[in-house]
Every structure is written in C-alpha cells, then in structure tokens.
Amino acid sequence: MANTTTEISPDNNFEKKSNFAADSKVDKDNAPKTFKEKLEVLNQKVVALSSVPVSEKIFFTQNLMVMIRAGISISDALKTLEEQTTNARLKQILSDVYQKVDRGVALADSLEPYKKDFGELYINMIKTGEASGQLEQVLNQLTIQMKKDHHLKSKVKGAMVYPTIVVVAMIVIMILMFVFVIPQITSIFKEVDAELPLPTKILIAISDFVVNNGLMVGLVAVIIIFSFVKFIKSKKGKKIWHAFLLKLPIISTILKKVNLARFSRTISSLLKTDIPITETFTITGRVLGNSSYKDVVFSAAEELKKGVNIYTTLSKYPKLFPPIVTHMIAVGEETGSLDEILEQLAIFYEEEVDQTMSTLTSTLEPILMLMLGLGVGSIAVAVIMPMYSLTQQF
C-alpha cells in the first residue's frame, strides 16, 4: 500500500500544479488588458462604494408595487426598473437581483447582500410579504414608510440650514475682526501710555494671541473638532451625546417628536405585515436614531419575550414616551388595533414635527440676533471705553 501511495502522490501533485497553472492562465486571460477595461473595473468599484439615495429607493419600491399589481412578474419588473433607473448603484444592484430572481431565488434573499443599502426593516418586510403572499401590500407600506421618513429628515435638515449659516457667519466674522480689524484699532491705544479698561485689555490680549499663534490656534481647533467627532461616533460617546441633546431646551422637543414619529410609524408598518412583536421591536430599535430610544426599545423587546405587555415596559420611561403615547398603546393592546393606533400616533407626531420645523426659524432668530448683538456689543464697548477715557484726559 505504501508503494502505491508513493506512486500516486507525484501524479496528484502534478495534477494540482496543472490546475493551478490553468487557473492562473484563466485569471490572466480574464484580467483587464486595455485602459478602457481597467477604467470600467475601477468605475464598478467606485459605484459599489456609493449609496442609493432615498428618492431612488422610493422610485424602485413604488414602481415595483405598481408593476406587480398590474400582473407583471417580479423578474420582468426588476429588469424594466434596472433599465429605467439613472442611479448607477441601484442599476448595479437591480442587475444582480434580477439575475438571482430569474433563477428562482426569492426577492428578499436576493436583496440580502444589499442590507447596507436597503436596511434591515426593508429586507424583513419583503421577506414577510413573500411568505404571506402580500408582497404588493408590503411594498405599499414600505413606500409610505420611506416617504414619511424622508419628509421628516428633509424638514429637519431644511429648518437647520438658516441657523447653521448664521452661526458659521458669526464665527467667521469674529475671527476676521480679531485678526484684521481689532489690531488696527488697538495699535492706537498701545501707543498712548494710558491705563486701559479691563474689557479693552482682554480684547487686545485675545487679538494678539490669535494673530501671533494663528497656526497653533487653527491646529488646536482641528484637533478638538476631530476628537469630538470621534468621541460622539464611539458607542459610549454616542450615548452620552444623545442623552445630552435630549436635555437641551429646543432640540430635545424636536428629537423626541422625530423619534416618536419614527417609532410609531415603523412599529405600525411591521405589525401590518404580521412580523412577530419581539422581532418588530428589535428591528425598530435599529431604525431609531437616538441611542436613548434605541436602548429602551431593545430593552422592551427583551421584556416582551418574558410576556410583559408594551404599556408596562414603556411606561417606565415617561421622559421618552409621554403618558399620551403609552395610554394609547394600552388601548391598542386591549382592543387588538395597535397597528392602527400607532399609525394615528405617527401622523400626529409627523404633523407636530412639521409645525415645529416651520416655526423654528422664527423661534431661533431672536436668540441668534441676541448672541450676535452681545458679541458685537462687547467688542464695541471694549473699543469705545478707552476712547472716551482719552478724550476726558485731553
């Protein structure tokens, strides 16, 4: 037997080497040779790193629903939508999904590798829709969900544009004044051998420090910003930062309404697709943006596994879930209409966010003007005070 093994072994090694050589040859043959081919490969890699905009996902979901309702097969609908979409990333995804579905793979399983693009909520709802034979209704729910969520985000971002521009402009103006304007004015005071008021001394000291150590100030500012961003992206830092935001006067109100609207809308959509309540809460926890709300919802999912009802679990956190929310949930649990009640809650809070965002600019404007007035006023006082003293001496 030993001799037989010895005789076969070299042939096997030769076979392996031959296979390896053949594979290497195939790889070389398939490798891009021309500049155009290399550019195409690079372009595909860049596209793979990009994301699918929400508007494109809404376009895909809504049109897929309409085409399925019209009796078109899923594979034909995917092929048509692939040809119709203008987004390179979505086109790439739909091309792959179409090929899988055409071979008999379920739509949810075909979308599974693209969970980063579509989200866990999306994949799970599609999976449930296929299993229950209600894919059309699920796609309709997803379209509504994404539209409402997109509208909320757009409202918040739109309302924050004006305050952000004003604050950035104030900072830039203050820096320019300390670097260019104030040194010109204060140089007069330095030439006069007179006792300067404390505000003027502070103004001159700040101006001199910024001018003489501009590079260091800029470097320190960059380090502080970078460290802060890194801190709030860490698990612990994010929790601390999100908890802090929920204590700020105006911001906390907006954040609570946004998170309650998203919580209600997501739970309602998932319940309508017959996903188990514990899994519904787990998925919703991952969708919510604020860490404090995430932790409570994840905790609620664990409590629900033990048989505790939703009202009992959420009523422990009145600062995050107001009594109006928990009591309506209790009614929904008792009557078996939790999905409908949560949908009404979602509509209520979405309208509240709309109204808050519409009036946010007029609310923040006096505060911003006051801050600007205090800054400019302080500099003006620091400059005028020594001038008044000098005129009194002469």
Residue 345 pLDDT > 70: yes
Statement: residue 168 has pLDDT above 60: yes
Q: Which residue has the tokens 């009557």?
A: 335
What pLDDT was estimated at residue 227?
94
Q: CA-to-CA distance for 234 and 31, rounded, in angstroms?
A: 40
| Fold annotation for 143-394 | Receptor-associated Protein (1.20.81)
- One fold for both 49-118 and 143-394? yes
- Residue 202's pLDDT is 85
The pLDDT assigned to 47 comes to 62
What is residue 10's predicted lDDT score, i.e. its pLDDT?
A: 42
pTM for this model (two decimals)? 0.74
For the chain, the average pLDDT equals 83
pLDDT tens by residue, 325-344: 999 999 999 998 999 999 99
Question: pLDDT category, 218, cuts 50, 70, 90?
Answer: confident
Cβ(135)–Cβ(68) below 8 Å: yes
What are the sequence ranges of the domains in the chain? 49-118, 143-394
What is the architecture of the domain spanning 49-118?
A: Up-down Bundle (1.20)
Each residue's pLDDT tens digit, 273-292: 878 888 889 989 988 889 99
Q: Report the pLDDT value the prediction gives residue 3, as an integer from 0 to 100.
A: 43
Strands annotated E in the chain: none
Give the highest mean pLDDT range of 177-181, 267-271, 357-361: 267-271
Q: What is the pLDDT of residue 153?
A: 85
In this predicted structure, the answer to whether residue 387 has a pLDDT above a threshold of 80 is: no
The pLDDT of residue 192:
67
Model pLDDT, residue 177: 81
Question: How many C-alpha atoms does 296 have within 13 Å on its Cβ side?
Answer: 22
Sign of the torsion angle spanned by Cα atoms 66, 71, 72, 78: positive
> Quick one: which of 238, 239, 242, 241 has its CA closest to 255?
242
Concatenated DSSP letters of 4-40:
HHHHHHHHHHHHHHHHHHHHHHHHHHHS--SHHHHHH
Q: Are the C-beta atoms of 119 and 54 separated by less than 8 Å?
A: no
According to DSSP H, which parts of 31-134 are helical?
35-49, 54-69, 74-84, 88-102, 107-111, 115-118, 120-132
Mean pLDDT lowest among 21-25, 125-129, 171-175? 21-25
